[in-house]
């Protein structure tokens, strides 16, 4: 049995390493993943008198007189800035702005292909909190929204909170809100599998970083009893006497509001009798052990989402009694993948010209995403849709757009069907453009198999 397991683990390791090997070859082949191409026709050089000088002066004058016309005359309403300082990249840590560029380009590709959104990677040569805030604020005229990415804590909390208050365009931190949204969607359907209620379950949250802090906030807003949540960081459980957390408002608030039974200790103590484990801590395996899972309540749910290796291997969690297991990996069932959320979220908020993205909007989007798996299709190994079903993105766009309108933070008043049809058309076009360029050879075929 042990020999078989070691063979299985070696196979999984080999599979996990293949994308890294191919990434080097293919990134070099394409010299990056995105480019800028025209969206207007150029039949002759005379057209530049319209698209540029002198004709463009009339358009500029109109915008000067009525600022909102920028959305009518330019691509601002479909443009997104992906801002990072490279201080906390994909489990690689503080690798700096230049080394983070491939990640941000990849994010831009996902936004375009899955959401039809023109996203631009902007990697900053500063890690100063105030400089990042000021940079985002002065970039507002050029973009319809901003995606903050891979910024270390605790500054990621204050940067997001400040910008949400002081900017007139929606600001989103995908490591917080994106992860929380998709995790909540999976949580909603996982509870259906085991026939448990959100307000009654006990949850052990392993890790108290940006992602889990935001997940905890959304879970509580959704209906989870905060007293039934026990969070664990590298120093142990969060509780009222964790005065070392006072310097971070978000973590200190959770230390005060959660852990109603004042559980002290570490991972093991937090997990005892828990119905759900949500782990976003450090790569495993054996951060969480099989014997920990066996201490959980009946029919437990286990989300172990560290990358590239989850805190416990899924088969080990199931051997220990877990009914539903989710990870952050695509080679196991139930992948908790941010890409299920952010393309639709921004498609919706851009199309209704929302000024911000609230937590209640995130919950609405999570519920819509959860509903994309029909009730009769929800199973222990199927609690979330996959990116293959591209119709989930216009659905999320429509749901979050309507919620923004109801919350009176959107300038455009559209119905669910109008937002959905518009989003579907834009996303479909984006996919077709990419496919046509591939067929025509404008995007060359790589010599390597992916």
Q: How far is CA 97 from CA 93, 126, 245, in A?
A: 12, 8, 28
pLDDT of residue 265: 97
Q: Which of 52, 73, 411, 442 is catalytic?
A: 52
- What is the model's pLDDT at position 381? 96
Consecutive H or E run containing 148 = strand 145-148
To the nearest whole percent, how much of the chain has pLDDT over 90?
Answer: 88
d(CA 220, CA 109): 33
pLDDT digits (tens, 9 = 90+) for 27-43: 988 899 999 999 999 99
Query: Which pLDDT score, from 0 to 100, does residue 23 have?
Result: 86
The pLDDT assigned to 22 comes to 85
Structure tokens at 227: 């007293």
Decide the pairing of beta strands 236-237 and 229-233.
antiparallel
52 catalytically annotated: yes
Domain range list for the chain: 52-169, 174-450
DSSP 110-131: HHHHHH--EEEEEE-S---HHH
Q: How many CB atoms lie within 10 A of CB 61?
A: 11
State the pLDDT at residue 24: 87
Show Cβ contacts of residue 104 under 8 Å, excluding neighbours closer than 6 positions: 82, 84, 121, 122, 123, 149
Look at residue 449 in the predicted model and tell me its pLDDT: 61
Domain 52-169, CATH among 3.40.50.970, 1.20.1070.10, 3.30.465.10, 3.40.50.10380: 3.40.50.10380
Rounded average pLDDT over 129-141: 98
pLDDT exceeds cutoff 70 at 353: yes
Q: Which of 107, 202, 318, 353 is catalytic?
A: 107
- Mean pLDDT, residues 144-153 taken together: 96
| Torsional sign, CA 434, 104, 344, 301 | positive
How far apart are the C-alpha atoms of 93 and 103, rounded to whole Å?
A: 13
CB 311 within 8 A of CB 285: yes
What does the pLDDT read at residue 309? 87
- Annotated catalytic, 111? no
What residues contact 419, with CB distance under 8 A and at least 6 apart?
348, 351, 352, 394, 397, 398, 401, 402
Task: In whole angstroms, give the CA distance from residue 343 to residue 112.
Answer: 8
pTM above 0.85, yes or no: yes
Please name the residue ranges forming H helices in 267-391. Answer: 267-271, 290-293, 314-319, 342-351, 359-371
Class level of CATH domain 174-450: alpha beta
Please give the Cα distance from 63 to 77 (Å, whole number).
Answer: 14
pLDDT of 1 strictly over 60: no
pLDDT at 253: 96
Q: Do domains 52-169 and 174-450 have the same CATH topology?
A: yes
Q: What is the pLDDT of residue 18?
A: 72
Interval 247-269: pLDDT, tens: 999 999 999 999 999 999 999 99
| pLDDT given at position 446 | 85
- CB distance 301 to 322 below 8 Å: yes
Residues 190-202 pLDDT 10s? 999 999 999 999 9
pLDDT, position 9 = 60
Tokens of 387: 């990116």
Structure tokens at 421: 């049809």
């Amino acid at each position: 049995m042990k020999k078989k397991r070691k063979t299985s683990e070696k196979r999984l390791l080999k599979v996990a390493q293949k994308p890294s090997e191919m990434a080097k070859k293919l990134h070099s082949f394409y010299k990056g993943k995105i480019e800028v191409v025209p969206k207007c026709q150029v039949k002759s050089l005379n057209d530049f008198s319209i698209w540029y000088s002198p004709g463009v002066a009339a358009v500029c004058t109109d915008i000067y007189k009525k600022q909102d016309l920028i959305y009518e005359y330019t691509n601002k309403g479909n443009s997104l800035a992906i801002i990072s300082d490279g201080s906390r990249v994909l489990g690689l840590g503080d690798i700096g702005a230049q080394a983070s560029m491939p990640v941000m380009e990849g994010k831009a590709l996902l936004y375009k292909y899955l959401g039809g959104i023109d996203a631009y990677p902007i990697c900053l040569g500063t890690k100063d909190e105030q400089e990042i805030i000021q940079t985002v604020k002065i970039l507002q005229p050029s973009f319809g929204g901003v995606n903050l990415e891979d910024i270390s804590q605790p500054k990621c909390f204050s940067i997001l909170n400040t910008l949400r208050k002081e900017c007139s365009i929606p600001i989103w931190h995908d490591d917080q809100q994106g992860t929380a949204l998709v995790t909540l969607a999976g949580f909603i359907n996982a509870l259906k599998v085991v026939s448990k209620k959100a307000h009654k379950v006990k949850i052990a949250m392993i890790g108290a970083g940006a992602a889990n802090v935001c997940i905890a906030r959304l879970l509580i807003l959704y209906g989870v009893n905060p007293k039934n949540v026990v969070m664990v960081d590298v120093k142990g459980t969060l509780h009222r006497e964790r005065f070392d957390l006072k310097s971070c408002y978000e973590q200190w608030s959770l230390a005060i509001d959660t852990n109603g039974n004042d559980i002290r200790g570490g991972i093991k103590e937090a997990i005892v009798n828990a119905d759900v484990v949500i782990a976003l801590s450090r790569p495993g395996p054996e951060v969480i052990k099989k014997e920990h899972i066996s201490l959980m309540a009946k029919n437990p749910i286990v989300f172990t989402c560290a990358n590239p290796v989850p805190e416990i291997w899924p088969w080990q969690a199931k051997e220990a009694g877990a009914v539903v297991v989710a990870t952050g990996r695509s080679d196991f069932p139930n992948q908790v993948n941010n890409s299920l959320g952010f393309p639709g979220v921004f498609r919706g908020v851009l199309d209704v010209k929302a000024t911000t993205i609230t937590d209640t909007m995130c919950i609405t989007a999570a519920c819509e995403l959860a509903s994309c798996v029909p009730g009769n299709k929800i199973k222990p190994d199927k609690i979330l849709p996959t990116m293959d079903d591209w119709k989930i993105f216009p659905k999320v766009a429509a749901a979050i757009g309507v919620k923004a309108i109801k919350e009176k933070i959107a300038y455009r008043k559209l119905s669910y069907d109008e937002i959905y049809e518009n989003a579907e058309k834009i996303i479909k076009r984006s996919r077709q453009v990419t496919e046509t360029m591939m067929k025509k050879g404008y995007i060359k075929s790589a010599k390597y198999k992916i």
